[in-house]
Amino acid sequence: MFSAESDFVEIGFLAAFVITNLVEMLVAYFILGKDEKISLILPVVFCCNLVTMPWVWFIFPFFLHLPYLQTLLISELFAFIVEIVIYIEAFKNSTRDSSIMAASIGNLTSFILGLLVALL
């Protein structure tokens, strides 16, 4: 049985997952699209978020037992590093710098958008 609080977290996660994917896919396409096919960009970004977002939203907060801001910093840094590594390995037709830029700008943009949405 789910509680109202549990339902809220799950709905929040699903909304964040969709928004994050849309934002990061657009950013990756604009930065990497001249060298990489969209048929590679979309699934790579989706898989990155499929791997990292549960850690950010559920695993780190459950196990770290730290104040919110410390947990947020650690989990976002984890997601950022993992996504950079995946981008560099997956996007072989792009430069290392382009992959790092795509992951960095995508993560920063989706993070800022998430903060704005949370404040509304």
What is residue 8's predicted lDDT score, i.e. its pLDDT? 65
Average pLDDT over every residue of 74-103:
97
Q: What's the pTM value of the predicted model, to 2 decimals?
A: 0.89
Q: How far apart are the first and last CA of the chain?
A: 29
Q: Please enumerate in sequence order all residues whose Cβ is within 8 A of that of 42, keeping only pairs 6 or more positions apart, or say none.
A: 25
Q: How many domains does the chain have?
A: 1
What is residue 3's predicted lDDT score, i.e. its pLDDT? 54
Average pLDDT over every residue of 62-90:
96
Question: For residue 97, what are the domain limits?
Answer: 4-119
Average pLDDT over every residue of 97-117:
95
What is residue 22's predicted lDDT score, i.e. its pLDDT? 97
Cα-Cα-Cα-Cα dihedral sign, residues 62, 68, 72, 73 = negative
Decide if pLDDT at 1 tops 80. Answer: no
pLDDT tens digit sequence for 22-64: 999 999 999 999 999 999 999 999 999 999 999 999 999 999 9
Q: Please enumerate in sequence order all residues whose Cβ is within 8 A of that of 75, keeping only pairs 6 or more positions apart, or say none.
A: 55, 56, 60, 61
